[in-house]
């Protein structure tokens, strides 16, 4: 199984935590279809921690909690599949999951076989309660091997939060995406912290194994399991812009049964999603960064698209409005090249004109602007 673009989907953790059940999950599957999320490309519906009983069965197999999932997991998977979606589940490389449910240490092949039998297409694999002397580098490889031999294509989503030098070895394990950050919570400080932590790791992101900046908090409005404070709509748009532009998987975390029009407009902007899902998957590079009092205030980034266009991301992490300036010479345009950039504003959905020397855009405090430029004759 080769994963060519960042996976898109929904995950239960950010809003629901342990509060999950079959009815709610089926309603999420319905909502993914009815809201248009599925057709916009969101494909995986993932149940996170807290789905099982506290004991394995007599054969050592994990058992879905019958109170939460009375029909069993195969029935949930079948329902999710009947909606044209893929089904994801969760386990962990230690003896217990982070929420202290049984986990896959020493049961890797049995659990991979169980997941395959249930029709699971995606496994999020966490990193809590690892026995001493068993490094993640070994345990993630064990599960990677078990999944690759379970007889079903299961996307391996390694979640070790970027610790233990994982950028050095995560691709050895067969992971298709890996959590390159700590846990997100629903506030601006968290979005800013995760963005800054991601910058040195961007060079490791790429096809086959994507840096996962953690699930989205867009639309949570301070409610739910990680709803600590909430963000403004502008901040949610910035969060989504950065995750999308940096090529992170986009796993929605809000209650999609009840999304505002603003939330829908953020999550389903086709032109922004097209940048995230660009088939060439080239890494973003920084073209202009300004620090204030030694803190990164704002930065301007570019990413070359498969069709020759250039995507531009202007991100303002500061508390002040800014007017970043992009010199076309920094992209090899203008001057003797005879070429200029015809620029479209992806959030406004507007063509802004053709620029041959420089391009300046206002970016409000905590804001982001995304553009796509086409190379044309000056
Ligand atoms: C860890 C992960 C989270 C979530 C919880 C579940 O903290 O990083 O994304 O899966 O465990 O307990």
| CATH number for position 359 | 2.60.40.1180
Nearest residue by C-alpha to atom 6 in ligand 1: 49
Calculate the dihedral angle through the C-alpha atoms of 108, 110, 111, 112, rounding to the nearest 10 degrees.
Answer: 80
Nearest atom within ligand 1 for CA of residue 97: 12
> Given a cut of 90, is residue 294 above it in pLDDT?
no
> Given a cut of 90, is residue 149 above it in pLDDT?
yes
User: Residue 215 carries which DSSP code?
Assistant: -
Question: What is the per-residue pLDDT across 34-43, written as a single tens digit (0 to 9) for each?
Answer: 999 999 999 9
Residues pairing with 322 in the sheet: 363
Q: Out of 58-67, 81-90, 281-290, pick the least confident.
A: 281-290
From 345, 352, 292, 342, select the one nearest 322 (Cα to Cα).
292
Q: Is residue 47 part of a domain?
A: yes
Over residues 59-68, the mean pLDDT reads 98
| 293 shares its domain with 198 | no
- The two structure tokens encoding residue 195: 């963005």
Whether 236 and 187 have beta carbons less than 8 Å apart is answered as no
Question: What is the per-residue pLDDT across 327-365, written as a single tens digit (0 to 9) for each?
Answer: 999 999 999 999 999 999 999 999 999 999 999 999 999
Choice from 11, 93, 98, 251 to test ligand 1 binding pocket (greatest atom count within 8 A of CB): 98
CA–CA separation, 253 and 243 (whole Å):
13
| 272 shares its domain with 297 | no
| 146 shares its domain with 208 | yes
| 353 shares its domain with 230 | no
- The two structure tokens encoding residue 145: 């091997």
| 30 shares its domain with 63 | yes
φ and ψ at 2, to 5 degrees? -120, 130
Q: What is the pTM of this model?
A: 0.98
User: 245 to each of 156, 217, 238, 239, how far by Cα in Å?
Assistant: 22, 16, 10, 10
pLDDT band per the 50, 70, 90 thresholds, residue 17: very high
Q: Out of 131-145, 175-189, 290-304, pick the least confident.
A: 290-304
| 268 shares its domain with 298 | no
CA–CA separation, 21 and 219 (whole Å):
21
Choice from 17, 48, 100 to test ligand 1 binding pocket (greatest atom count within 8 A of CB): 48
pLDDT band per the 50, 70, 90 thresholds, residue 113: very high
User: 56 to each of 65, 76, 130, 142, 324, how far by Cα in Å?
Assistant: 11, 20, 18, 20, 56
Whether 305 and 341 have beta carbons less than 8 Å apart is answered as no
φ and ψ at 26, to 5 degrees? -65, -40
pLDDT band per the 50, 70, 90 thresholds, residue 218: very high
Q: Of 276, 295, 318, which residue sits at a domain end? A: 276
Range of the domain at 328: 285-377
Q: Other C-beta atoms within 10 Å of 131: how many?
A: 11
Q: Of 216, 246, 276, which residue sits at a domain end? A: 276
> Given a cut of 90, is residue 316 above it in pLDDT?
yes
Percent of the chain with pLDDT over 90: 99
**Cα-to-centroid distance, 252 and ligand 1 (Å):** 14
Q: Is residue 2 part of a domain?
A: no
| 75 shares its domain with 219 | yes
3-state secondary structure of 111: helix
Domain of 242: which CATH number?
Answer: 3.20.20.70
CA–CA separation, 246 and 301 (whole Å):
9
């Amino acid at each position: 199984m080769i994963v060519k673009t960042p996976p898109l989907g929904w995950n239960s953790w950010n809003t629901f935590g342990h509060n999950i059940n079959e009815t709610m999950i089926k309603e999420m599957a319905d909502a993914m279809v009815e809201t248009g999320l599925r057709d916009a490309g969101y494909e995986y519906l993932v149940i996170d921690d807290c789905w099982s009983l506290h004991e394995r069965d007599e054969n050592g197999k994990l058992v879905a909690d019958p109170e939460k999932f009375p029909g069993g997991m195969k029935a949930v998977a079948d329902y999710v599949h009947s909606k044209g979606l893929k089904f994801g589940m969760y386990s962990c490389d230690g003896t217990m999951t982070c929420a202290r449910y049984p986990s896959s240490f020493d049961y890797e092949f049995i659990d991979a076989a169980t997941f395959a039998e249930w029709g699971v297409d995606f496994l999020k694999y966490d990193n809590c309660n690892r026995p001493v002397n068993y490094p993640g580098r070994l345990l993630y490889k064990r599960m990677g091997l078990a999944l690759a031999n379970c007889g079903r294509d299961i996307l391996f989503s390694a979640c070790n939060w970027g610790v233990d030098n994982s950028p050095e070895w995560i691709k050895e394990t067969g992971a298709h995406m890996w959590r390159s950050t700590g846990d997100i919570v629903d506030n601006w400080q968290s979005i800013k912290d995760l963005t800054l932590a991601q910058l040195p790791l961007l060079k490791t992101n790429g096809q086959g194994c994507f840096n996962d900046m953690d699930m989205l908090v867009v639309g949570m409005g301070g409610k739910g399991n990680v709803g600590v404070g909430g963000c403004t709509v502008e901040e949610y748009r910035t969060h989504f812009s950065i995750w999308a532009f940096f090529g992170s998987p986009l796993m929605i975390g809000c209650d999609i049964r009840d999304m505002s029009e603003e939330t829908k407009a953020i999550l389903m902007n086709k032109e922004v999603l097209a940048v995230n899902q660009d088939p060439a998957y080239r890494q973003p590079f920084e073209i202009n960064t300004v620090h204030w009092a030694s803190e990164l205030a704002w930065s301007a980034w570019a990413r070359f698209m498969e069709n020759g266009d250039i995507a531009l991301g202007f991100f303002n992490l500061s508390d002040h409005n800014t007017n970043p300036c992009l010199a076309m010479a920094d992209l090899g345009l203008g001057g003797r090249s005879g070429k200029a950039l015809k620029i479209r504003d992806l959030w406004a959905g507007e063509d802004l004109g053709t620029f041959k020397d420089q391009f300046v855009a206002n970016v409000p405090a905590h804001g982001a602007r995304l553009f796509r430029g086409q190379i044309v004759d000056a």
